[in-house]
Structures are given as C-alpha cells and as structure tokens.
Amino acid sequence: MLKNSFISVISQKEKEENPGSVEFQVFCFTNKIRRLTSHLQLHKKDFLSQRGLRKILGKRQRLLVYLLKKNRARYKELISQLNIRETKTR
C-alpha cells in the first residue's frame, strides 16, 4: 500500500509510471533498509542480514549521489520526502 501511494505521487509529477526511476529505486531501498533495521533490533547476531543491509545502503548511496549530480532539486525533494539525511560530499 505504501509503495502504491508513492507510485501515484511520482506518476502525478512525471505523467507516467516509471518504476525504473531513481526516485522509485531509492524509495524501495529505503523501505528495505527500514525493515532490515527493525529485524536487526530483534536479532542482533544475524550477520548475514547485516551484510545485506550494508550492501543496500551502498546501492542507495550511489543512487543518491547520481541524483545529486544530475538534478539537485529532485534530490532535495526526495530527501525531504523520505526523511533521510543528506549525503556527505567529498
């Protein structure tokens, strides 16, 4: 249900559904990160899930850096919409 609401928000902006867009991919990764974080709070020694979480975090980070370079306005809007921190720039 949460996924469908986000798709409708994106589709209103772009006039078409595009599940391959950077925003949609970051949204899906953020949902996975939140689920894994809550799982790891219960199961502290689940090291395979910790590894998976780190991989997903890296993928999301790379997508956010790409979006920051391509379109700063869309990046700022996505960050505020998903309530995640800004990336550290080098």
Rounded Cα–Cα distance for residues 90 and 87 (Å):
10
Rounded Cα–Cα distance for residues 27 and 53 (Å):
15
Residue 54 lies in a domain: yes
Residue range 57-90, pLDDT digits in tens: 999 999 999 999 999 999 999 999 999 988 776 6
Residue 26 has pLDDT above 50, yes or no: yes
Residue 57's domain comprises 18-82
How many structural domains does the chain have? 1
Residue range 46-62, pLDDT digits in tens: 999 999 999 999 999 99
pLDDT recorded at residue 86 = 84
Q: What is the CATH number of the domain that holds 37?
A: 1.10.287.10
Residue 3 lies in a domain: no
Residue 15 has pLDDT above 60, yes or no: no
